[in-house]
Amino acid sequence: MFSYDEKRIRFLREKAVSPYICYDEFYLYFYRFLKTAEGTLEKKLSEAWAYAFENITPSIGEKELIVGKCDYRLTPSEQAEYDEYKKTIVNDYALMCGQDSHMAIDYDLVLHHGIEGILEKIDMLSANSESAAFYASCKTCLRGAIRFAEKYADHASDLALKEADPVRKAELTEISRILKRVPRYPAESFYEAVQSAHFISLALSFSPLRPYSMQQFQLGRPDRYLYPFYLKDKKSGVLNDNFAQTLIDALAILINLRVPHGLSSGYMVGGRDKSGLLVCNDLTYMLLQAIDDVRLVYPSVGLCYTKDTPESILTLACEILSKGRSHPAIFNDDLITRGLLSYGVCKENAHDYIHSTCVEITPVAASNVWVASPYTNMLKLLLDRMDREYDSFDELVSLIFTDLDKKIEQNFLSENGYRKDRYEKCRHPLLSCFVNDCLSNGTDIEQGGARYNWIMPSFVGMANLVDSLFAIKTIVFEKKLFQISDIKKAIDCNFEGYEPLRQMLLNKIDKYGNDIDEVDHLFEKIVAHIISECKKHKPMLQNAHLIPSVFCWIMHEFFGRETGASPDGRKAGFPLGDGSGPCQGREKNGPTASILSSTKWPHLELIGGVAVNMKFSKKTFSQSSLEKVKTLIKTYVERGGFEIQFNIIDYETLIKARENPESYNDLVVRIGGYSDYFVRISPEMQAEIIERTAHEV
């Protein structure tokens, strides 16, 4: 029987630590065709997609079992041609606004019906339809995707003919056979299903209308859609768990060859299915185990936890985290499902969601949701209002809320305007084939064909705002030690000459994250106002809501860099708080108090995402620590927490990595909802990670 191929996975992993990812060849062919194309927008774009698929160079690496990547380097003449297109044709078609790819497509559709089955469905739908142009463009793109897979099949066959090693020759022959079948036809085996899922994700990752942004499609819920194939092959004896784990690990590695670091792409496991039944099978364990096997920045894995999740699953998750891995993040499945239902999502979709990149929740196979659109610097709202004295603290807060309301409205109008531009000028026929209900409605995803079309603004620096407001409330309005102008003068100087004041602000005034009701209430008040205000705005397209989130990706560093010193004692340029938990280093009363503070305000309607970061010292971690972390997770979930994520690493390791980056090129850390290689993030972000409180358990 096949044993787990640790040597192969180690080899593939090392190749994926610093991959070369480039989609420019596809874009070159796309624009070359588009330069002389004629006809409707749908016709020109779909034929350009098909032409690029026909001409792109396939790439299969040594020891690969699952194939499909883009690493072709343009020749100097090709680069010159491409650069010219970027100056002309790209500007005529490309839209630098809005978002896409923050979703998971309908993998069940492609695995059980194949592209040929989708083409048959389109033929039935298009008969006597007013959407003939849309359906024709879909068919053109789908046929292009078939040809793309055939090119890989031919390339694998050519490599097999030249291969001297009989084992590798057999592997390449099998790869060729599989790609002649999938994704064109329904998958018949677990191996075919894994290859098909990756290949259709790769095909969708080409984004010629947004060539300056990289796509990061998620793999959805593979312990659901791959399980029937796994079960069938296990029962027939053609698959054992060792080979299944090898294929899953190979799939996980390939995400790192499809999505550049600095973004986020992966999958979710666990939770409940559309009938409310617990999802927990052999693949759930294997897909978690892949994190420890691969040890790369991707896959970004979310464990959907319920009160009925087996203890063994949570134990495995914590054991993986205890080794210093930055995944999985733990998501409160029952709370998220209720939150989705509150926004009118049907029960089936409410149980089938994905953390679309970091923590943003979008329904699988039915979403055209724009996440983190846009980010708002909450701390700046206060700093802009520190231009005078106020009669009361409530007056100051009221005016901040007034400014916040204007900001929410301005951002909404801007994003809605982008939606209108996309509606009129953009089409994505290939993606539309895999997102409900585009085909049944005969409507492109850009024109509202998706079932859900939300916009999700995110609010960054909440803890900084809370800590700063509480500091002003304490020393200006209650103790009357200073006036706002005094604090304003100090922060304008970045506290130079005012270090005693900064130390008082930083260390003598209570902070969010320490289970102090008076401080935590401010966070709750701001969140409630944001939720209420977002409900007043309805984006265009069907089933559209403005849904808030409280997480940051990398924006806490970006905003921090451009934000001056603040009344919480933070110096100018330092990153803002890294999520919805306390600011870096300020939770002085331990992890339990931090969790209590982070769950005193309702997370239910923040479907746009809530990220709570916890950092623990690896050197103090033990079996008893593992049990304590499990208890913390359970407490967080029971109290209505949305998502919690961990860094379990030593201060000393981070310092060594900063000083000797070449020795720590694969050290992965959690940032603000996503993970990245520590040595590749900015010095400011490195300092922010180091600054976070390392709890001992």
Tell me the per-residue pLDDT of 357-366, one tens digit each, with 9 for 90 and over.
999 999 999 9
145-174 pLDDT, tens digit per residue, is: 999 999 999 999 999 999 999 999 999 999
State the amino acid at position 145 in one-letter form. Answer: A
**If you average pLDDT over residues 204-226, what whole number do you get?**
90
Report the b/e string of 142-172 with b at 16+ CB within 10 A.
bbbbbbbbbbbbebbbebbeeeeeeeeeebb
pLDDT above 80: residue 696? no
Phi and psi at 644, nearest 5°, equal -135, 140
Distance CA 357, CA 364 (A): 13
- For residue 386, CA distances in Å to 193, 397, 414, 617 come to 59, 11, 27, 39
The domain ranges of the chain are 22-213, 252-364+617-697, 375-590+597-605
Q: Dihedral angle at the C-alpha atoms of 585, 586, 591, 597, nearest 10 degrees?
A: -140
Q: Note the pLDDT of residue 317.
A: 97
Contact yes or no for 170/75 (Cβ under 8 A): no
- What residues contact residue 504 under an 8 Å CB cut-off, 6+ apart? 475
How far is CA 475 from each of CA 21, 274, 298, 398, 400, rounded to the nearest angstrom?
A: 53, 53, 46, 19, 19
Contact 129, 75 (CB under 8 A): no
Q: Which two tokens stand for residue 142?
A: 């789908």
Cα separation, 19 vs 259, whole angstroms: 10
Segment 260-278 shows an average pLDDT of 94
Pick 148 or 209 by higher pLDDT: 148
- Between residues 262 and 188, which one has the greater pLDDT? 188
- Looking at the predicted structure, is the pLDDT value of residue 83 above 70? yes
On the question of pLDDT at 374 being above 70, the answer is yes
- From the number of C-beta atoms within 10 Å of its C-beta (0-12, 13-18, 19+), residue 635 rates as middle
Pairing of strands 353-355, 361-363: antiparallel
The confidence band for 693, taking pLDDT boundaries of 50, 70 and 90, is low
- In percent, the amount of the chain with pLDDT more than 90 equals 82
Q: Distance between CA 245 and CA 210 in Å, rounded?
A: 35
Rounded Cα–Cα distance for residues 50 and 45 (Å): 9
What's the Cα-to-Cα distance from 383 to each of 460, 480, 487, rounded to whole Å? 14, 20, 11
pLDDT confidence of residue 171: 98
pLDDT at 623 over 90: no
64 close to 250: Cβ distance less than 8 angstroms: yes
**392-417: per-residue pLDDT in tens?**
999 999 999 999 999 999 999 999 99
Mean pLDDT for all residues in the chain? 94
Neighbour-count burial of 4, counting CB atoms closer than 10 A to its CB (0-12 exposed, 13-18 middle, 19+ buried): middle
Residue 239's DSSP bridge partners are none
Task: Give tens-digit pLDDT for 553-601.
Answer: 889 999 999 999 999 999 999 999 988 999 988 988 989 999 999 999 9
Would you state the pLDDT for residue 432? 98
What pLDDT is recorded for position 694? 64
Per DSSP, the three-state class of 186 is coil
Q: What is the mean pLDDT of residues 254-282?
A: 95
d(CA 217, CA 590): 37
- Identify the band that residue 663 occupies on the pLDDT scale cut at 50, 70 and 90: confident
Q: Which residue is it, tokens 């050290």?
A: 667
Q: What's the rounded mean pLDDT across residues 345-374?
A: 96
Q: How many other CB atoms are found less than 10 A from the CB of residue 35?
A: 13
- Nearest-angstrom CA–CA distance, 613 and 579: 7
Q: What pLDDT does 539 receive?
A: 95
Which uninterrupted H or E stretch holds 661? none
> What does the alpha-carbon distance between residue 64 and residue 257 come to, in Å, rounded to a whole number?
12
Contact predicate 432/444, CB 8 Å: yes
Structure letter (DSSP) for residue 474: I
Average pLDDT rounded to a whole number, residues 177-187 = 98
Poorest-pLDDT segment among 320-324, 504-508, 672-676: 672-676
453 and 541 in contact (C-beta within 8 Å)?
Answer: yes
Whole-angstrom CA distances from 499 to 365, 466, 496 are 54, 21, 7
- Written as six digits, the tokens of 10 are 């180690």
